[in-house]
Amino acid sequence: MIAAQRFGSLHPIHTTNFLPVVAAPTCTGCGRCVSVCPVGAISLVSAQDPRHRKRKRAQVDEDTCLGCGVCVTACQHASLSLKERPARVITPLNSAHRIVLMAIERGTLQNLIADNQALRSHRAMAAILGVILKLPPIKQALASRQLRSRYLERLLAR
């Protein structure tokens, strides 16, 4: 979270599968959630209440939010709850898994291998293929499309 604050938004791959939702009718605009969020993903905006023009409510920036849930526990009015993200985020198991997943998400899997001499070794390629073979079918299809490898296609077809 400190890294997220210092170096800007992380790629969505680093988030949990949840997002906080603000219950507008009960949010008092107290700002507690704003001050506890480690990445500055919540701000106060106008509650659009014609009877109380100065009233504010919390708003979550879904692109920045890490889904950590800290704001949910900090809200004393039970105005925040966690819902599942529409697209499920796969949490990386280790650094090889993380690097391959990030490359697939960014459409740069082929560049990852072509641009890195170190990744052309048998062991590195075996690690990459090992990661791809354990991914869900949709990620495998993306990887296969990016690598355009008949060998990988045959492996995935088994």
Q: Which residues bind ligand SF4 (CB under 6 A)?
A: 20, 22, 27-33, 37, 39, 41-42, 58, 60, 65-71, 74-75, 77, 79-80
| Three-state SS at 60 | strand
Q: Which is closer to ligand SF4, CB of 35 or CB of 111?
A: 35
Q: How far is the CB of 63 from ligand SF4 (least distance, A)?
A: 11
Q: Which is closer to ligand SF4, CB of 63 or CB of 115?
A: 63
Q: Which is closer to ligand SF4, CB of 75 or CB of 129?
A: 75
Residue 120 to residue 75: CA distance in whole angstroms: 50
Place of tokens 């809200």: 75
Q: How far is the CB of 46 from ligand SF4 (least distance, A)?
A: 13
